[in-house]
Amino acid sequence: MNRSFVPASGSVPDERGRFGPFGGRYVAETLMPAVVELEAAFRRFAADPEFHRELDLLLRDFAGRPTPLLFAERLTAHAGGAAIYLKREDLAHTGAHKINNTVGQALLARRMGKRKLIAETGAGQHGVATATAAARFGMGCRIFMGVEDIRRQTPNVQRMRLLGAEVVPVASGSGTLKDAMNEAMRAWVEAVEDTFYVIGSVAGPHPYPLMVREFQTVIGREAREQILAAAGRLPDALIACVGGGSNAIGLFHPFLEEAVELIGVEAAGEGLESGRHAATLGRGTVGVLHGSKSYVLQTPAGQIREAHSVSAGLDYPGVGPEHAWLRETGRARYEAVTDAEALAAFRLLCRFEGILPALESAHAVAWALREAARRPRGEILVVNLSGRGDKDLAILAAHPEPQEEKTA
Amino acid sequence: MNRIEETFRRLSSRGEKALVGFVTAGDPDPQRSLALCGALCEAGIDVLELGVPFSDPTADGPVIQRASARALAAGTDLAAVFELARTLRDRFPVPIVLFSYYNPLFAYGAAAFHRDALAAGADGVLVVDLPPEESAELTSGWPDGRLALIRLTTPTTPPERMAAIAASASGFIYHVSRLGVTGGRGPDLAGIERQVGTLRRFTSLPVCVGFGIAHPEEAAAVGRLADGVVVGSAFEKTIEAHGDDPHLPQRLGRQARALKEALPRR
């Protein structure tokens, strides 16, 4: 399949990487030539049918695409309203949607002659997916991961090491995704001449938000065909969790021009009023973090606050600039789900559908249950089940099920 | 003529090189920070760079990261940095450059920052993560050239980009001597000579070289290739190692004096 990644003129981002006032390129001078080179390479290969042929083969034979769209029959009956369909990114190779982007970027790195990959990771899914692509391409790989995330996502650390990657613990700050990204940027500055930085979300300096989006829209393109085949029409709403926002953008983007509601679900952590949350769009203000302008959780003086979520992949005080723009324009709305609601939804999906979702994805499931309940039968929701939850078993064990729910 | 220009003109006429000293404002706390900056000024540094502490300093190595964290823990915000600059300005004629990441400035507001920085006696600003492509949003409303905008060039900067950067810079050019973050290993003299040579084709502004310069002999070697050298992490290391020493200001002053004396003279 030949398609152009580069959006038509007049669409976002513009040539400066701007989604309205958001996005841009706020990086140290050392990195500027690298991001300019990356953008040129991305645009060149995006227009190259051979690149797409290679990528499509990798997505099919290596990543296991297309992933199915499942009608969640018992979950739908439990919610008692709109039909819930699950886009099964948990069934992609490595167990999450992150692989779509990492094979794309690794392929690009190879075309650019870069033999070393570095990446940041939160839950470890992006780290595993990067290490996987590096192994497949015979590239060196270093993954930066916060010490707190290493503690709570041990299985993924083991997987990355098995795949031949070096996992570099990051102890600064809160030892989570933000700090891992700081350290990856520092490592990139040092090794920029031979190293490709594989950013895992639709964040970072231009062209990353554009590039990661384009590699992830395969989710939405497939979902669109699949729901048309299954239900004979487009859905009423799409629901996806948002940390940095890559799985959500990937699902949303092919539906932007359609009359389909877009709902992003952020992590409300211990509650929006507790101050311990990761609801960047819900409670943040405009600022500049990690190379782009978007919403961030920060003090009035512009110091970045630490986020909190039980889910390491959502535990980030920033968000991709395109989400800021979709919110600003009213095209998408953003809700938030607490740790407790996400844990409950995790258990519910296990029991009703036989699927262990990633805790990140469980946030989307939790909101979908509410959304389905207040919509009439006959309406259709597509939920992005962005990853599988095996990595989260230790967290589930540490948060035993509340007694009153056991009898439900 | 502003203080930065005046300083480099005076140094040049005497055949001297500039010692640009960087410290994080408010480290280890605002009170002691004032004494430390004062000691550097008395020791004869030619330009003082005051680092505005930021929670996520992605261009800095561990030494300045920790300095930033100490300053923030002591409650240092931009208002405190301005207060420090104002107090120093009353006592010393040395040019003051505020060295910051963009987000604290963005939060403060471009116009308010310009007004308050000038009122505090600052002479220039350097924003690490604000390349020329993005800097209009900060500077477009600034009424005149009273606050110099110091630009960075690096070993990865191609010649045509150096030309564009030089064209929009004022005060001096800060050339980053090597890839990587602040602190760490010493300077690459051959690289510096080549890069500064290229840079001089595009600008008559003074060129100061920094990143990884810690010892007098390094300062001497780099000083032969540029108009000035920037030393930061080496001072911060001293502050970190001797934070509780009541004679820390004198110690820091001796370190600065040794660096200044090592710089070549005509």
Structure confidence at residue A402 (pLDDT): 81
- Any CB–CB contact under 8 A between B261 and chain A? no
Catalytic residues of B: 49, 60
Amino acid at B18: A
ipTM higher than threshold 0.85: yes
Q: Is A309 among the catalytic positions?
A: no
Structure confidence at residue B182 (pLDDT): 85
Residue in B with minimal Cα distance to A317: B56
CB contacts under 8 A, A 246-305 vs B, are 287-291, 296, 298, 300-304
> Are B156 and A287 inside 8 Å of each other by CB?
no
- Any CB–CB contact under 8 A between A15 and chain B? no
Structure confidence at residue B187 (pLDDT): 85
| Catalytically annotated residue among A39, A87, A98, A114 | A98
Backbone angles phi, psi at B39, to 5 degrees: -65, -40
Tokens read off for A71: 């009608």
Sort out which chain A residues have CB atoms less than 8 A from B181's CB and list them.
186, 189-190
Q: Is A174 among the catalytic positions?
A: no
Q: Which residue has the tokens 């829209």?
A: A217
- Any CB–CB contact under 8 A between A307 and chain B? no
Structure confidence at residue A1 (pLDDT): 38
> Are A304 and B78 inside 8 Å of each other by CB?
no
- Any CB–CB contact under 8 A between A11 and chain B? no
Sort out which chain B residues have CB atoms less than 8 A from A37's CB and list them.
none
The model's pTM is 0.95
Q: Which residues of chain B have pLDDT under 50?
A: none
CB contacts under 8 A, B 96-155 vs A, are 102-108, 128-131, 133-134, 151-155
- Any CB–CB contact under 8 A between B73 and chain A? no
> Are B103 and A287 inside 8 Å of each other by CB?
yes
Q: Using CB atoms, which residue from B130, B158, B165 is nearest to A26? A: B130
| Catalytically annotated residue among A174, A246, A309, A386 | A386
Q: Using CB atoms, which residue from A33, A173, A182 is nearest to B156? A: A33
Q: Using CB atoms, which residue from B65, B72, B106 is nearest to A287? A: B106
Sort out which chain A residues have CB atoms less than 8 A from B157's CB and list them.
29, 32-33
- Any CB–CB contact under 8 A between B77 and chain A? yes
Contact (CB, 8 A) for A160 and A124 = yes
Q: Which residues contact B210 (CB under 8 A, 6 or more apart)?
A: B20, B22, B174, B175, B176, B177, B182, B229, B230, B231, B232
Task: Say how far apart CA A55 and CA A228 lie, in whole Å.
Answer: 25
Structure confidence at residue A404 (pLDDT): 56
Q: 3-state DSSP helix/strand/coil percent for chain A, to nearest 5?
A: 50, 20, 30
Q: Taking CB atoms and an 8 Å cut-off, how many pairs form between chains A and B?
A: 106
Task: Say how far apart CA B15 and CA B30 lie, in whole Å.
Answer: 35
Residue in A with minimal Cα distance to B180: A190
Q: Measured between CA atoms, how close is A312 to chain B, in angstroms?
A: 19
- Any CB–CB contact under 8 A between A32 and chain B? yes
The SS3 of residue A384 is strand
Q: Using CB atoms, which residue from A29, A173, A191 is nearest to B131? A: A29
Q: Measured between CA atoms, how close is A217 to chain B, in angstroms?
A: 28
Q: 3-state DSSP helix/strand/coil percent for chain B, to nearest 5?
A: 50, 15, 35
Q: Is A98 among the catalytic positions?
A: yes
pLDDT in tens, chain A (408 residues): 334 454 444 568 999 999 999 999 999 999 999 999 999 999 999 999 999 999 999 999 999 999 999 999 999 999 999 999 999 999 999 999 999 999 999 999 999 999 999 999 998 999 999 999 999 999 999 999 999 999 989 999 999 999 999 999 999 888 999 999 999 999 999 998 899 999 999 999 999 999 999 999 999 999 999 999 999 999 999 999 999 999 999 999 999 999 999 999 999 999 999 999 999 999 999 999 999 999 999 999 999 999 999 999 999 999 999 999 999 999 999 999 999 999 999 999 999 999 999 999 999 999 999 999 999 999 999 999 999 999 999 999 999 988 755 444
Residue in B with minimal Cα distance to A305: B55
Q: Which residue has the tokens 């003129």?
A: A9
Contact (CB, 8 A) for B167 and B173 = no
The SS3 of residue A227 is helix
Q: Using CB atoms, which residue from A32, A190, A302 is nearest to B181? A: A190
Task: Say how far apart CA B27 and CA B51 lie, in whole Å.
Answer: 10
